[in-house]
Amino acid sequence: MEPDKQADIAPARRLALTALRRMDAERRYAEDVLGELLPDVGDRDRRLAAALTYGVVRHRLTLDHILKAFSRNGKAPRPLELLEILRIALYQILFMDRIPPHAAISQSVEMAKALAPQAAGYANGLLRTIQNSMGPLRDEDPRAILPRPGGRALEFDRSVFPPPAQTVDHLSATTSHPPWLIGRWLRLYGPEVTREIALAGNCVLPTTLRVNPLRTSREKLQEALSNADHDVTAGRRRPEALHARRTAGLAGVPGYHDGHFSVQDETAMAVAPMLADHHPRRVLDLCSGVGGKSTHLAELTADVVPIAAVDRSREKLAVQRENLARLKLTQVAPVRADGIYPPFRPAFDAILLDAPCSNSGVLARRPEARWRLCEEDFFRCAALQKRLMAAAVPLLTPGGRLLYSTCSIDPEENEEVVQHFLKTHFGFRVETTKLDLPNDTAGGGFRAVLVSST
């Protein structure tokens, strides 16, 4: 590629291509790869590179269906690097209205020139053909309709996807989820709910801030963020939630270093109140991770209730300690231990078990999970969840509460784990259960409170 043309390629697109190639070659997560690539990049390029990377990961199957439909031989373009370039360009054309299609196409052509002159011509012809085939929704052929987040569907001038009668294949291709996962949801929820779950998994969710009521109020934080030109709105599910559509890195957000907020999905915010509302005296968080739910519980109980926050990961506990210092919380004690073998006596009247799970409810925030999951993972997760539930029982005082939660929407990890627990541990009753399905602002998840009567 000529040096002047090389310089014309936006850094964000080059970074997105590098990130996607590393993810494929090294089997790594986008968050980790982008964390290495973006620290010294300007805010605008950082946001665009992340949007392109996550967008291609989310919509990969749909993008490939479209590229195959318009390819002369009906196959995905090769080599893989050319395919990634085309995916990046097509994602912009289909899903990023603020980027002119001609800009996305010209940039991809310049990137393809680095592979071979004929690759540039091929990219230009294929992408322009796809662009010219797009039009407003006419509802003439469901096989030509691409649903998009926010209900903004578009229609091609030819059939691209499998017919709706092939329900699994059609939903898989149009919403970019593996066929086996679509089939599983269809058995559990039926076609309409499955479609809504899959479309929610493709939403670009807002960054959700959990206000620390010990340091500020939602109104004050919202005013401070708005004054700093952040697009902030009140949450839908929790009174302490704010949705921020544009954040230039947390370090630069007003109030972050002062402990005024944490980042947490609204569905995850619904967990800690289920214990806090009963005024516990001593709490155990059996799988605390970086402390999202422990710190929330501490905030809701005025930081006067002792909370033992267990995790076996040294790295996660290090982040948890940083969060505790930033939020200025004193009653949460990080403990490095295995949740199946917790080093405690029966002294807790409240135990929180936010169990490791399939992440099937948070595919919008963890888009790679859909491609790495397999059916056996649900069985493996459920087996671990049952062991963790059993490990909590000896540590609970009579009349105590065990709060079980996951970010899964699959009964095998939720209701069936609870039912198994009740069958194998007498003296417990279910106080409440709640399943939240994902939507366009929050992920999905499950929670259940079990009360000991002995």
Name the binding residues.
311, 338, 354
Residue type, 50: A
3-class SS letters over 187-198: HHHHHHHHHHHH
Active-site residue (options: 203, 287, 357, 407)? 407
Distance CA 375, CA 384 (A): 15
DSSP classification of residue 73: T
Helix axes 179-200, 167-175, angle to 10 degrees: 50
Q: Which residues contact 33 (CB under 8 A, 6 or more apart)?
A: 19, 22, 23, 26, 53
CA atoms within a 13 Å half-sphere pointing along the CA-CB vector of 232? 23
Within 10 angstroms of residue 266's Cβ, the number of other Cβ atoms is 24
- Closest C-alpha among 124, 52, 42, 46 to residue 82: 124
Q: How far is Cα of residue 327 from the mean position of the Cα atoms in its chain?
A: 24
Q: E strand or H helix at 434, and its extent?
A: strand 428-436
Distance CA 304, CA 400 (A): 18
- Closest C-alpha among 132, 172, 126 to residue 154: 132
- Closest C-alpha among 354, 363, 62 to residue 205: 363
| Binding site residue list for S-adenosyl-L-methionine | 311, 338, 354
Q: Which residues contact 303 (CB under 8 A, 6 or more apart)?
A: 214, 329, 330, 331
Residue with tokens 């917790």: 342
Within 10 angstroms of residue 330's Cβ, the number of other Cβ atoms is 12
DSSP classification of residue 150: G
Strands 241-244 and 232-234, by their bridges, are antiparallel
- Please give the C-alpha separations between residue 66 and each of 94, 107, 132, 181, 188, in angstroms, as whole numbers: 11, 20, 13, 21, 29
For the question of residue 407 being annotated catalytic, the response is yes
Q: How many helices (H) and strands (E) does the chain have?
A: 17, 13
- Closest C-alpha among 30, 364, 371, 444 to residue 179: 371
Distance CA 7, CA 354 (A): 48
Residues tagged active-site: 407
